[in-house]
């Protein structure tokens, strides 16, 4: 493996580790993602359902990484309180919230018949 690729992978893993260690919301999202993935294999989900669930899970995680990155950039650029920075951070949080809500709806639509079937 070339040094350039190795360095890029190392940087990516360091960034991921930084997020997992210091970002509480990302830890929560990772826990939810793990539950979804376990449920995806526990229930007889179709290949298409698995693809949709994985897309939803990774979309939320990726958007949370982007949110974290932008928040840190904004804190570095403007360490003092700035109303414009607050608005940017709130907009990023809204993006993650909307993706999380959409993913939850997808999860409910896919898992509902399987979970409901357990109680029949």
Name the CATH code of domain 24-118 (choices 1.10.287.3610, 3.40.50.2020, 1.10.10.10, 3.80.30.20). 1.10.287.3610
What does the longest C-alpha to C-alpha distance in the chain come to?
Answer: 57
Closest CA to 61 of 99, 6, 110: 99
Per the prediction, the chain carries an average pLDDT of: 95
Question: Taking the complete model, does pTM exceed 0.85, yes or no?
Answer: yes
pLDDT category at 1 given cuts 50, 70, 90 is low
Q: Region 11-27: what's the mean pLDDT?
A: 94
Confidence (pLDDT) at 82? 94
Question: Tens digits of per-residue pLDDT, 39-51?
Answer: 999 999 999 999 9
Is the pLDDT at 2 greater than 70? The verdict is: yes
DSSP per-residue letters across the chain: --HHHHHHHHHHHHHHHHHHHH-HHHHHHHHHHHHHHHHHHHTT--HHHHHHHHHHHHHHHHHHHHHHHHHHHHHHH--S--HHHHHHHHHHHHHHHHHHHHHHHHHHHHHHHHHHHHT-
Contact 26, 65 (CB under 8 A): yes
Structure tokens at 93: 């949080």
**Domain chopping of the chain, boundaries:** 24-118
Question: Tens digits of per-residue pLDDT, 53-87?
Answer: 999 999 999 999 999 999 999 999 999 999 999 99
């Amino acid at each position: 493996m070339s040094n350039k690729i190795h360095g890029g992978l190392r940087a990516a893993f360091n960034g991921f580790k930084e997020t997992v260690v210091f970002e509480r919301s990302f830890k929560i999202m990772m826990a939810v993602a793990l539950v979804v993935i376990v449920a995806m294999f526990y229930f007889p989900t179709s290949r298409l359902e698995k693809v949709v669930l994985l897309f939803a899970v990774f979309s939320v995680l990726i958007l949370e990484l982007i949110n974290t990155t932008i928040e840190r950039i904004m804190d570095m650029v403007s360490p003092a309180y700035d109303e414009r920075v607050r608005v940017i951070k709130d907009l990023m949080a809204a993006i993650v919230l909307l993706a999380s809500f959409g993913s939850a709806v997808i999860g409910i639509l896919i898992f509902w018949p399987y979970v409901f079937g357990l109680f029949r």
